[in-house]
Each structure stands twice: as structure tokens, then as C-alpha cells.
Structure 1
Amino acid sequence: MKFTLESSLTNIVPTFKIGMIYYTKIVVSESPQMIKGRTQLYQENLYLELEGQSVTERPGIKEWRAIWKALGGDPNRYRHSAESLMRRIAKQNYLTPYHSAVDLNNFFSLQYEIPIGIYDMNNLDGDLVIALGDEETGYEGLNGRYNSLKNIAYSRDTQGPFGSPFVDSKRTVVTENTTEAIQLFYLRPSLSEKECTELLNAAGKMFSQIHGGDYTTALLTKDQSQVEI
């Protein structure tokens, strides 16, 4: 399977970076108490920090809002997923546990202040591409409605779009039956390649400690726009 970052994104944002972690032989279940407790404590501390700071001034949130605008989107109308999560925390509307994969994915997104998606590989088909959406790009999302991805970065396989830093599709949702998954990190362009690689390895290690199995990481940039896994 090939994984490609299209020039439709890097021509506009030359430092655009996408991280990928491919997991195999994982076991998804109810989150262990350690993850539940750590996530709750993190949210409570974040809430206290946000009492004296706007969500949009957080470095990662601010950077991704700028990317949104550079790509032609409206960051106030279509908020990226990390900002949406953080706005919930600012209102003390804490995230409730779902299952281990989603809970850890949300924790990473809050910690790194970037949009992150996780997808069931059994529901994906063929090569994967990250590109810039146009007026015809969209899907039925986890929010229960059709979502247009015009001027928004998105991921697709041979069947069509399945994910984005805005909202993910129903088609590739991870469940407790998932044994093979791919996680996409919409990394901050300001991070160096070394910092990105270290982030991906740290996340992969923690995810595997909870879910078992093996993982492989990859980083896509303008200069390294395709990998094969």
C-alpha cells in the first residue's frame, strides 16, 4: 500500500507534514483505568490553564487555524478537531470514555494540539492519499451529517474520502472489533522532521503499550511525499 501527500497541499503550505502510524494485531477494548484517570486529570489541568488563555492562542491550535486559512477554509466556521475538543474542555464539558483507541487518540490530540484521526484498515481499500478537498469532496461524518471538505485537507482511498482534520467518516470508524488500524497526525508545520519523528514514536509506543501488537511510523513532507507500507 502506498501513502502519498499531494502537492495540492505542499504547494500552498511548503512545510505541511503528515505523520502516519500503522498498527497491526491490536486489541481495542474499554480503556484501562490508568488511561481514564490520566485523561481526566489532563482535562482538569487544561481547563484551569484555559481560564486565563483563549483556546485560539494555544500554539498548536493557532498554527492549525492559520493553515486552515492558508488553504482557503474558514477556521471559524469549520473548526479543526483539536480546537473543537479543546473548546469543550474550556466549557468544562469533559470528554467521556468511549473505547481505548478513541480515548487515546483524543488524548494525543489534546496533548499535541493537532488534529489526529484513527481508522480501521479493514474498511480501507488500496492506496491512501492526503490532498486538498474541492467542491465535490465530502462524506457522511461521525457528526451524523454530510460534510463538505472544500478547501480542507482530507484523506482518501480508492473508494473515496474517509478522513480529515475536521471530522471523520462513518465508513472507517474504529470499533472494539478492529485489529488493524492507521492513525494520521496532522502535524504542526513548524516542527522539525526530527521532532515529528520523535512525536510519532512516542505516540506509537504508548498506543502499543495499551493495545499490544506492532506499529510502523512514517512521515510525509514535500521532499518525501510518498512511502510504501
Structure 2
Amino acid sequence: MNIKISKELSELCPGAALMVFSYEADVKESPKELIALLDKTINNLHTRYTMTDLPKLTHIKDTRAAYHNLGKSPTSYRNAAEAMLRRIVKGNDLYHINNVVDINNLISISTGYSVGSYDTDCLSGTVEWRRAPDGESYRGIGKDVLNIEHLPTLYDEKGAFGNPTSDSRRAMITPGIHRVSSVVYSFSGNHEFDLIASQYKKLLITHCGATEIDVIIIN
């Protein structure tokens, strides 16, 4: 996926950075080993954090500040990492979707970065990460119409398709062999990306049979 960050987004959010994994994967129900790892991580986080701890976590705090700078309420439109951590602290489980998405969620709750995965064949042309304009919306996954105005959103030639809060249905990951682009959204720079990349690649190979994995960092 050829991707860039808009000048406006970089200026409003100086820590904005992306790490993009491109690979082929066999998308299917998560194996029991991945579910066990995800459940163990959820249990550990539930005992580790309280609700008042979450806004103090570096990546959650930086993402909240970025949303504020972009003109979007970070509490009305929580980023996915924070939303999942809040569910965990409350004692609620996360939904098991498929192996690719479950790995997204595992990385996200472990690091505080939101992660989105997209079917590359559903995308067209150069992708740009930019501030969504006034009145922008799309049909979200598991939602009807999602108000995405002012959210830091990925656009291709067909329009908006993903952001750190909720993705559109257009490029959602479905069962089968697919080319996938997984995006780690950061507002804290890229200094932790190398460590995360190693862990992410190992999970993709082990639980998704991922091949031809390519990793790029954009900031």
C-alpha cells in the first residue's frame, strides 16, 4: 500500500506516524492458541489497570491530545485501543472475529496503539492519512453511519475507509486468502515500532500463515 501523511495532519499532530504491514494471509477463525494468548493478556490487563489509569497511558494520552487538536472529542469518539481497554477494565471480554483482527486487538491492547487491517484488493491508488472534512461519514463495521468528520482518516481514490476509532465496511477483512494491509496508528512518534514489528510479524506467521510480509514506517 502506497501511503502518505498529509501536511495538515502532520502539523496538527507532530507525533503522527504509521507502521504498515503488507502480507498475504489465510483469514479464518482464530486457533485456540491465539485465543488463549488473547484471553491471558485480557486477564492480566484487567488486574493491572483501573479506569483512572487509562488516560495516563502514554499512547492513549497522545491520541486523545491529537483528537483534540483535530477538533474531535476524544471521549465521544474514543480510539479503538482505549475503547477495548475500557471494556477489559470493566470485566467485559472482547469479541473474537478472525485471526487477523484478533491479532490486531492483541497488539492494540498490549501497546495502546490502535490498529486497523484492510483488504488491499478493495483499495485503489495512493492512500493518504488526513483530517476528515466537515460532515464526512461512512458505514462503519457493526454500525450504520459513523460520523468521522475531523477524525484522522485513511483515504484512497474511492474515499475514506479507516481511522483509529472505527473502520468502514468497504475494506473489512473477511474469511479466505487475502492480501492485507495492517496499519498501526501512532501519535507518539515511531521510536517503539521496531520492537512491535518483530512481535507482530511472529504472530502473523504463527497464527495466520502470513507470507511475503513487508513493513514500512511513515512519519
Q: How do 1:5-154 and structure 2 match up within 5 A?
A: 5-24=5-24, 26-51=25-50, 53-154=52-153
**Greater Cα offset, 100-109 or 176-185:** 176-185
Distance 1:6 1:96 in 2: 33
Specify the alignment match of 1:215 in structure 2.
213
Q: How far is the alpha carbon of 1:115 from its aligned partner?
A: 0.9
Q: Which runs of 5+ in 1 are unaligned?
A: 222-229
Distance 2:93 2:70 in 1: 30
Q: How far is the alpha carbon of 1:136 from its aligned partner?
A: 3.7
Distance 2:66 2:179 in 1: 30
Q: How do 1:168-207 and structure 2 match up within 5 A?
A: 168-192=167-191, 195-207=192-204
The change in CA–CA distance for 1:91 and 1:17 in structure 2 (over 3 A counts) is: same
The change in CA–CA distance for 1:52 and 1:64 in structure 2 (over 3 A counts) is: closer
Q: Is the 8 A contact 2:125 2:157 kept in 1?
A: yes
Q: How far is the alpha carbon of 1:71 from its aligned partner?
A: 1.7
**Structure 2 SS opposite 1:180:** strand
Deviation string 1:55-88 (CA, Å, 9 cap, x unpaired) is 2222221221111112221111111111111111
Distance 1:138 1:81 in 2: 17
1:2 aligns with 2:2: yes
Distance 2:2 2:166 in 1: 23
Aligned residue pairs total 218
Calculate the TM-score normalised by the size of structure 1.
0.89
Q: Which amino acid aligns with 1:37?
A: A
Q: Is the 8 A contact 1:187 1:196 kept in 2?
A: no
Distance 2:177 2:70 in 1: 33
The change in CA–CA distance for 1:122 and 1:190 in structure 2 (over 3 A counts) is: closer
Q: How far is the alpha carbon of 1:179 from its aligned partner?
A: 1.5
Calculate the TM-score normalised by the size of structure 2.
0.93
Distance 1:204 1:150 in 2: 33
State, as a whole percentage, how many aligned pairs show the same letter. Answer: 24
Q: Which amino acid aligns with 2:217?
A: L
Q: Is the 8 A contact 1:208 1:214 kept in 2?
A: no
Q: Which amino acid aligns with 1:200?
A: A
Q: How far is the alpha carbon of 1:206 from its aligned partner?
A: 2.1
Q: How far is the alpha carbon of 1:198 from its aligned partner?
A: 3.3
**Structure 1 SS opposite 2:178:** coil
Structure 1 outlier segments of 4+, above 4 Å: none
Alpha-carbon RMSD across the aligned residues, in angstroms, is: 1.6
**Structure 2 SS opposite 1:92:** coil
Q: Is the 8 A contact 2:51 2:86 kept in 1?
A: no
Distance 1:15 1:91 in 2: 30
Deviation string 1:177-213 (CA, Å, 9 cap, x unpaired) is 2421001111242442xx3233224312321222221
Q: Is the 8 A contact 1:18 1:184 kept in 2?
A: yes
Q: Which runs of 5+ in 2 are unaligned?
A: none
